Amino acid sequence: MPRFSCPKCRSRNYWHIRRDKLKCRHCRYEWSNRKLPLRLTTHQWKKILRWFLLGHSVNTVSRETNVHRERVLRALLYARTVMVKDVPKQLSGIVEVDETYVGGQWKNKRKSVRAKGTKRGRGTSKQPVFGIHARRGMVWAEIVDDVHAKTLQPLIRKKVRKGSTINSDTWKGYTGIASFGYVHRLVKHGEGEYSDGKGTHINGLEGFWGYLKRRLVAKGGIRKDRLWLYLGEYVWKYNHRKLSVNQQVKKLMNLLNNRRLIGG
């Protein structure tokens, strides 16, 4: 059973009393353990999460749930925070690794930004994102400072179990990864090869990159300091895409409860 905090004095010592209410042993304040942060009921939270998971805008969620827009924004911040943390600890089997770049459309960037880098590919001024995809269907992705070996290979060693088969393109950042206990297979994109016909490809991860970029474009612009939250949101949605919306809502409610974002 989760532990709650008194909303008034933050004490964690309380009694269970009538109608699922709690009473603080310290200040004697009474509150309901069915109340969530922001003073939303469980029913309101479920409605907010449902409209959110269906991909609707904050304004639509606010209108359909009759909850103020600012409260919806704060609720979704909590939801995205637990989504970021709900990722597989390690991936194994046949995995694909790749990097991509996200950011606004080139024509909309300021001249000072456009002067720093090229429009596309490695060397661009856009934000690099590194990802790992297991053939079983799970994805992990993270914002990185660069795509050099010193940055990417420690992430691979942390997130991919030794003995796994790693598929990548020929980018030098992956050179030497086999020496750490992996089978390393290459697909030569530079020569127009996207699969060797024997299962060596990174098409699964390329599919996720396409999904991610379509969702980010639909948002119409995201602050850079919040990009990690939206990346975590779309990784989570992709990893749980086979669940029904009701199942996804239930899972998110459990995650919020486990993080003590419900009831305290």
3-state SS class at 169: coil
- pLDDT for res 34: 56
Pick the CATH number of 94-221 from 3.30.420.10, 2.60.40.1930, 3.40.190.10, 3.90.1150.10: 3.30.420.10
- pLDDT for res 7: 72
CB atoms within 10 A of CB 194: 13
- pLDDT for res 174: 95
| HEC string for 104-151 | CCHHHCCHHHHCCCECCCCCECCEEEEEEEECCCCEEEEECCCCCHHH
Residue 133 tokens read as 């995809």
Q: Which amino acid is at 214?
A: R
CA atoms within 13 A on the CB side of 168: 26
3-state SS class at 4: coil
Q: Of 130, 231, 27, which Cα lies nearest the Cα of 6?
A: 27
- pLDDT for res 183: 96
Each residue's pLDDT tens digit, 133-174 = 998 789 999 999 999 999 999 999 999 999 999 999 999 999
d(Cα 208, Cα 183) in Å, to the nearest integer?
23
CB atoms within 10 A of CB 217: 12
Q: Which amino acid is at 160?
A: V
Q: Which amino acid is at 227?
A: L
Residue 232 tokens read as 């975590």
* Antiparallel, parallel or unpaired: β 94-102 and 165-168: parallel
Angle made by CA atoms 23, 251, 8, in degrees to the nearest 5: 20
Total residues found in the chain within this entry? 264
Residue 3 tokens read as 């532990």
- pLDDT for res 113: 45
Each residue's pLDDT tens digit, 28-57 = 888 765 544 567 889 999 999 999 999 999
Residue 240 DSSP one-character state: T
Low-confidence ranges of the chain (pLDDT < 70): 1-4, 19-20, 32-38, 104-125, 190-197, 261-264
d(Cα 250, Cα 246) in Å, to the nearest integer?
6
Q: Which residue has the tokens 């396409």?
A: 210
Domain boundaries along the sequence of the chain: 14-86+244-258, 94-221
- The pTM for the full model equals 0.76
- pLDDT for res 122: 57
List all residues 6 or more positions away from 9 whose beta carbon is below 8 Å from its beta carbon. 24, 26, 27, 29
Under 8 Å between Cβ of 251 and 79 = no
Q: Specify whether the backbone of 260 is left (phi greater than 0), alpha (psi in -120 to 50) or beta.
A: left
Under 8 Å between Cβ of 134 and 91 = yes
- pLDDT for res 210: 95
